[in-house]
Structure 1
Amino acid sequence: MALITLRRNFCHLSDFRIQGALTALKNHPINHVHKVAKEHLHPWFCSVQSEPFRIQFHHACCKKFHSQNGNELHLVGEPAFSQGQDWNRLEQNLENENEQIFYRRLNEFTSSEEVLSFISTLETLTDAMAAGALQRICEVEKKGGQRLPTEILESSVFQAWCFRFGREPSQLPDSTLVTTLQALILLHVDTQSSLILNLVAECQNRLKRGGLHVHDLCVLGDCLIRLQGPECVTLELIICQLQGEKLEAYTPEDIVALYRILQACAEKVDQHQTFLNMINSYSLSIVSYLSPKSISQLLTALVVLDQTQALPLVIKLGKYVVRHIPRFSNEELRKVIEAFIYFGHNDRFFIQALEQHITVFCLTLDAEVVSKVMEYCSRKLILSKPILNAVAETFVCQSEKLSPSQIYELIEPFGKLNYLPPNAPALFRKLEHVLFTQLNYFPPKTLLRLLHSCSLIECHPVNFMEKIFSPFFLQKLQGEESHLDQLSMAQLTQLYLTSVLECPFYKGPKLLPKYQVKSFLTPCCSLETPVDFQLYKSVMIGLIDLLGARSYFASKVLTPYCYMIDVEIKLDEEGFVLPYTVDEDIHKRVALCIDGPKRFCSNSKHLLGREAIKQRHLRLLGYQVVQVPYHEMEVLRSRQELVEYLQRKLFPQNSTIHWQGG
């Protein structure tokens, strides 16, 4: 009788190579043997067990069997089949089942020690499985770039792997070769060891011969970048071979790896732009298959490669980012937001998802991520009260953990967006405390910009004005330059104007005239928003119809206080409109602020901080400020409606208008 045993073993998954046994059984195809094997193997193959099994075929017993008449025997009712096909199928099934069990067990482990302990119990292990085990160690090791512990690197199992792969790398299949190299690099094995050098040399030999699969080329490219950096000359050969492959042969992971390879050669992007255009178009079809990590990597590559023409791809990636926000790591989310800032991408669904995420996890997010979120809101002028409120609470709780630059990045958007959170008193008390205790750690320009932002929302830094107007601070602010930059001078001037107009109790040093600007509206670093030209033209037409002549108002008037007024109208004591050339008997000056969309937060009617402080200061200087916002102008349908609207705005108490000639 044939002896075919299945010995159940809960500690071992052994003898993965049973080709010799199968060959012996093929040479003696007895139907009874096949039946017994099938009956015994079937429950194991079909059951879902967490424990592995050991399979052993006793060849000597199998050799005792022979066919009585030399023909195949079949069970009654079973169809006849080719013995070669049957045993080939059985052999393949056995190998596949063994690998499935192996990888299923492998994925259950959560530490390198568990993986090594498991491997040490196995009697035989294929090269592919050994490479898979190395990959699993890479997955469970999250050491932030550190090397593997010495006890793992020096373990007998790990050393056996190194010896095995380094001895005859030419015998390894392509995929196993590059996968092993990648795993060892990620595990920070010595890059100058003979093992790594032998594997790299073998990979390069096969690359020169050609024939590597797309995936293997992508993995190899990633390995060489990690080993030799973007200067690696072999990368060009890899890119050349990848260009010869059909894009349909790339998996989504391969596409992302290809972007990373091209990213490493960003200085040569012009040479590969045609290829990049093809990849950008093709990538639209694979976005839905990408993981959060891959989406982050792809967006980062698009930034480095300056693919501003790939906006359709960025927009589609943005739609899937919304779905994955809770699944991004801190670093991945930071890179996604950086990319959106770079490409100017703004999606209300992304903002809503970001709001939900920030309000829940703000206290646990890295400061760099929170800073990047605030930068995004500031750059895109997004007044998100849930985000700003959550960040304000976080600052009060965790300000001690923040660097000076991070403190600035968190506070600056409140001033820029002209928003005071509900906990504003606690927020600015905490900020004042931080400044008193850490003032010397703040770079001069960072400190100036921080204090200027506070002044925009009427949180005046009176206790620090004496410092920033002092010659010592101004000298530090100037640094090695021959003069102060224009933006710093403008911010100093506006802070000084604030101290005069809004803080009359301040009696400290004044800002010397040589540090003051003449106008806040400058081409490169303006503290005002230029008037919207189309809106300005419409108002001009209405004012001419209303007042009767162009001579009754002046446009784009620079005041002695550095502010530019869009339209100025002069009135005498009786309310008559004077020609703009008259400089006597002026009782009131009307400052008409023609506020286009750029003077407001994005998609809102909330005035920006720099426009709010301008209008506040103009009122304190004696001007009658009249605001003409774009959203009120948009509803006007005729010229007559425009004139009536301007009349209500300029002369709300009078039904008729008076003017006198000059």
Structure 2
Amino acid sequence: MFARWSRGVCVRGSLHYNPSLAGSGSIMPVVKSSTRKTETPCIHLMFYRRLNDLDSSADVLHFIGTLQPLPDSLAAGALQRICEVEKKDGNHKLPKGILENGVFQDLCVRFEQESPSLSDTALVTALQALSLLYVGPQSNLLLNLVAESRHRVKRGGLEVRSLCILGESLIRLQGPGDETLELIIYQLQGEKLETFAPEDIVALYRILQACAEKVDRHQAFLNKINSFSLSVVSTLSPTLMSQMLTALVALDQTQALPLVIKLGKYAVRHIPHFTHEELRKVLEAFIYFGHNDRFFTTALERHVASLCLTLDPEVISTVTEYCGRKQILSRPIFDAVAETFVGQSEKFSPRQVSELIEPFGKLNYLPPNASALFRKLENLLLTRFDYFPPKTLLKILHSCSLIECHPVNFMAKIFSPYFLQQLQGEESSVDRLSLAQLTQLFLTSVLECPFYKGRKLLPKYQVRSFLTPCCSLETPVDFQLYKSVRIGLIDLLGARMYFASKVLTPYCYTIASSAADVEIKLDEEGLVLPFTIDEDVHKRLALCIDDPKRFSLNSRHLLGKEAIKQRHLRLLGYQVVQIPYYEIEMLKSRVELVEYLQRKLFPHNVGIRW
């Protein structure tokens, strides 16, 4: 058990397929300025609208069979729609029935034989369509289209949109190592970014994302794109915004924080319109770049609270991971997440369970349905214990102990030699963080669960201190805050000799200057003793000087690892005195500081003797 303790009109331009719609199942003509200034017939727009209304390949083929012959741009659009519909239905290649259809075969023969005479738009649209589904690599149709596309790239003169579509199609067909791709990127670098439509900018990001291993070669170009993209953020659709953030992560554009911040600002309005996958990608990007925004969090709260029972487990776990990483204690989000897990726990993978549960422990929060939540978690772990990787399981159980939901029924298992061997894996030893978590769980069994009589953790797996540079279970504090308190203590007690730092307790917790905690010893009469004296110590005061890093973001709510430390110190016999930063900041003078410390340390004494 877990023990609980106290879209029309006619327009000028040429018809192009929008690459941002790939996979969406709809084709729309995209207006792009043309030097020929030809009038786009309204019949073209009507054709595309009719095409979008058809949701089966058979219907599309029947429709275009009544309109032969079609202009090459419309024929390419029809081919695009067929591949989109099949892709949407989950197919990875065209069904035999489509391949043997006479209208489809006539369409393919036309594109194969007439590829040199196709318009740029028809050529790249047809190639894009065929790149969505598997077509034999030796297909004459595909070979002819690829060869003609490469010829036109080398000849030059393709518009930005055509270059972008062609670049992405070649990546899907030939991979990022295709030699023509470098030429496409080079030609795009020569274009003025002001002439790029927003969807072209995002397509350019996607192309460079596919060549992420060559990012250093293109960094100067990326810097220009990052700067220019600031001007188009407000016009991006939810899909394009998610794709841009995903590319920025893949390309490790940590220097583009102004762009990330602006994307975060405008993402607020799109939260209800992101698909589950798009929202997950946005959150992953914000986690990667360390970005958070209170307006984004507020909008996310509303969205998650309204759709909690319908959100995908991957989205749910990413939302809580985002809150945990940024130390955002959002009660509406955590309450909704807890409710979702109780109702749908069987849908969550071990990794998703860990990403969901860990933030509860980290942020020291128990939702209103805590008993149901942890009962569901316990049942899940009991039935699927062997499916959880050892480190994942340890993280979950340690997180539970932080909020006083102690995994008593699992302690004997995780302290066993078999589990410890699994935890070690092929390494020479168990990693330092896992050892610290095991040790804290063991201390929890000793200090908070005296009724536990099961297997103990062997001494060789116990750490001596929780305060370490790389994986600390204690939070170092800002040195300036410690320095201010130290000055006040010297004025109050009369000398530095009457309080100690860098003291390691018998149970691994450090009362140290680096942790900004202080120990004061009192004798039986309440006299303050020099820290060097160990005899006649009647009471020990532990000052926990808590800076903002020990609290969740913009709150006065202690993090889980700080709350468990203070609980354990009390159980070890210390009188814990919390000195939070927000109380220190209210003091206006050194005299006020001394008076404040006296009230905190000796609330029942009029005067102090030492």
Q: Is the structural similarity TM-score above 0.5?
A: yes
Task: Report the CA distance between 1:233 and its aligned residue.
Answer: 2.0
Give CA deviations for 1:64-114 in whole Å, capped at 9, x if unaligned. Answer: xxxxxxxxxxxxxxxxxxxxxxxx99xx76x61322332232233333333
SS of 2:217's equivalent in the other structure is: coil
Between the aligned partners of 2:263 and 2:346, the Cα distance in structure 1 is 36
SS of 2:418's equivalent in the other structure is: helix
Aligned partner letter, 1:431: L
Between the aligned partners of 1:200 and 1:148, the Cα distance in structure 2 is 19
With over 3 angstroms needed to count, the CA separation of the structure-2 counterparts of 1:503 and 1:129, relative to structure 1, is same
With over 3 angstroms needed to count, the CA separation of the structure-2 counterparts of 1:145 and 1:525, relative to structure 1, is farther
Give CA deviations for 1:546-568 in whole Å, capped at 9, x if unaligned. Answer: 11111111123221211012100
Q: Does 1:224 align with 2:175?
A: no
Between the aligned partners of 2:460 and 2:523, the Cα distance in structure 1 is 36
Q: Which residue of 1 aligns with 2:547?
A: 596
* Aligned residues of 1:532 and 1:594 also touching (Cα < 8 A): no
Task: Report the CA distance between 1:189 and its aligned residue.
Answer: 3.2
SS of 1:652's equivalent in the other structure is: coil
Aligned partner letter, 1:116: L
Q: Which residue of 1 aligns with 2:581?
A: 630
What does 1:320-399 correspond to in 2, within 5 Å? 320-399=266-345
Q: Which residue of 2 aligns with 1:108?
A: 53
Aligned partner letter, 1:652: P
SS of 2:184's equivalent in the other structure is: helix
What does 1:160-171 correspond to in 2, within 5 Å? 160-171=106-117
Q: Does 1:618 align with 2:564?
A: no
Q: Which residue of 1 aligns with 2:98?
A: 152
Give CA deviations for 1:380-417 in whole Å, capped at 9, x if unaligned. Answer: 11111111111111111111122222111111111111
Between the aligned partners of 2:68 and 2:187, the Cα distance in structure 1 is 40
Q: Which residue of 1 aligns with 2:67?
A: 122
Between the aligned partners of 1:343 and 1:192, the Cα distance in structure 2 is 43
* Aligned residues of 2:83 and 2:94 also touching (Cα < 8 A): no
Alpha-carbon RMSD across the aligned residues, in angstroms, is 1.6
Aligned partner letter, 1:639: R
Task: Report the CA distance between 1:504 and its aligned residue.
Answer: 0.7
Between the aligned partners of 1:108 and 1:468, the Cα distance in structure 2 is 58
Between the aligned partners of 2:76 and 2:595, the Cα distance in structure 1 is 80
What does 1:219-298 correspond to in 2, within 5 Å? 219-298=165-244
Aligned partner letter, 1:646: L
When Rg is computed on C-alpha atoms for both structures, the one with the higher figure is 1
TM-score computed with the length of structure 2 as normaliser:
0.91
What does 1:471-510 correspond to in 2, within 5 Å? 471-510=417-456
* Aligned residues of 1:532 and 1:595 also touching (Cα < 8 A): no
Q: Which residue of 2 aligns with 1:50?
A: none
Task: Report the CA distance between 1:248 and its aligned residue.
Answer: 1.4
* Aligned residues of 1:393 and 1:423 also touching (Cα < 8 A): yes
Q: Which residue of 2 aligns with 1:131?
A: 76
Between the aligned partners of 1:175 and 1:378, the Cα distance in structure 2 is 47
Q: Which residue of 2 aligns with 1:54?
A: none
SS of 1:586's equivalent in the other structure is: coil
Higher mean alpha-carbon deviation, 213-222 vs 146-155, is at 146-155
Task: Report the CA distance between 1:285 and its aligned residue.
Answer: 0.8
Q: Which runs of 5+ in 1 are unaligned?
A: 1-87
Between the aligned partners of 1:553 and 1:97, the Cα distance in structure 2 is 86
Q: Does 1:96 align with 2:41?
A: yes
Q: Which residue of 1 aligns with 2:159?
A: 213
Q: Which residue of 2 aligns with 1:197?
A: 143
Higher mean alpha-carbon deviation, 337-346 vs 104-113, is at 104-113
* Aligned residues of 2:500 and 2:518 also touching (Cα < 8 A): yes
* Aligned residues of 2:84 and 2:132 also touching (Cα < 8 A): no
Q: Which runs of 5+ in 2 are unaligned?
A: 1-35, 512-516
Task: Report the CA distance between 1:455 and its aligned residue.
Answer: 0.5
Q: Which residue of 2 aligns with 1:571?
A: 522
Task: Report the CA distance between 1:534 and its aligned residue.
Answer: 1.2
Task: Report the CA distance between 1:134 and its aligned residue.
Answer: 2.5
Q: Does 1:652 align with 2:597?
A: no
Aligned partner letter, 2:385: L
Task: Report the CA distance between 1:188 and its aligned residue.
Answer: 3.3
Give CA deviations for 1:406-432 in whole Å, capped at 9, x if unaligned. Answer: 111111111111000100111111111
Q: Point out which structure has higher relative CO (alpha carbons under 8 A, 6+ apart).
A: 2
Task: Report the CA distance between 1:604 and its aligned residue.
Answer: 0.7
Q: Which residue of 2 aligns with 1:450?
A: 396
Higher mean alpha-carbon deviation, 305-314 vs 229-238, is at 229-238
Aligned partner letter, 1:349: F
Between the aligned partners of 1:105 and 1:221, the Cα distance in structure 2 is 29
Q: Does 1:581 align with 2:526?
A: no
Between the aligned partners of 2:242 and 2:137, the Cα distance in structure 1 is 28
SS of 2:449's equivalent in the other structure is: coil
* Aligned residues of 1:110 and 1:140 also touching (Cα < 8 A): yes
Aligned partner letter, 1:242: L
Give CA deviations for 1:472-491 in whole Å, capped at 9, x if unaligned. Answer: 21112112222111111111
* Aligned residues of 1:185 and 1:191 also touching (Cα < 8 A): no
Task: Report the CA distance between 1:192 and its aligned residue.
Answer: 3.0
Between the aligned partners of 1:135 and 1:250, the Cα distance in structure 2 is 23
Query: What is the aligned length?
Result: 569
* Aligned residues of 1:416 and 1:453 also touching (Cα < 8 A): yes
* Aligned residues of 2:277 and 2:315 also touching (Cα < 8 A): yes
Higher mean alpha-carbon deviation, 483-492 vs 615-624, is at 483-492
Higher mean alpha-carbon deviation, 130-139 vs 362-371, is at 130-139
Give CA deviations for 1:229-282 in whole Å, capped at 9, x if unaligned. Answer: 112222111111111111112111111111111112212212211111111111
Task: Report the CA distance between 1:220 and its aligned residue.
Answer: 0.8
With over 3 angstroms needed to count, the CA separation of the structure-2 counterparts of 1:192 and 1:643, relative to structure 1, is farther
* Aligned residues of 1:445 and 1:488 also touching (Cα < 8 A): yes
Between the aligned partners of 1:500 and 1:459, the Cα distance in structure 2 is 15
